[in-house]
Amino acid sequence: MASFVHRLQIPTIPFKERNRSERLRELGINTGWKWRKFRNQLLAASPLCARCARLGEVVHHVVPRHVAPERMYDVTNCQVLCNRCHDEVHGKRHS
């Protein structure tokens, strides 16, 4: 009797269509407990947006993580921003 090996066919999904965690994992960016702890410490130390003084909600990397992954936990490369200012930095519009 012949032995058949069935190969799993994994569809190729374009990078931009993958969910956020898959994209980050592929880029080698860790968003686990270490990041959450670092992020929470930054937000506690600087609770206001660095641009407009609203409540800070996002830790923004000045030099993007994909450009300098070694600076992910560098406090000199991070700034606390509100969602509106973070979107403006990335060129997103609010209605």
Q: Per-residue pLDDT for 3 more than 80?
A: no
Of 39, 53, 40, 41, which is closest to residue 81 (Cα–Cα)?
A: 53
pLDDT digits (tens, 9 = 90+) for 25-56: 666 555 678 888 999 999 999 999 999 999 99
Under DSSP, the state recorded for 73 is: T
pLDDT > 70 in the chain, percent: 64
Measure the CA–CA gap between 60 and 78, rounded to whole angstroms: 5
Under DSSP, the state recorded for 55 is: B
Name the pTM for this structure. 0.65
Between 66 and 28, name the one with better pLDDT. Answer: 66
Measure the CA–CA gap between 12 and 41, rounded to whole angstroms: 38
Q: Per-residue pLDDT for 88 more than 80?
A: yes
**Measured distance between the N- and C-terminal CA atoms of the chain, rounded to whole angstroms:** 66
Under DSSP, the state recorded for 63 is: S
Instruction: Yes or no: say if 50 and 80 are a contact pair by the CB < 8 Å rule.
Output: yes
3-state secondary structure of 58: strand
User: Where in the chain are the domains?
Assistant: 16-89
**Average of per-residue pLDDT values in the chain:** 80
Residue 90 pLDDT: 86
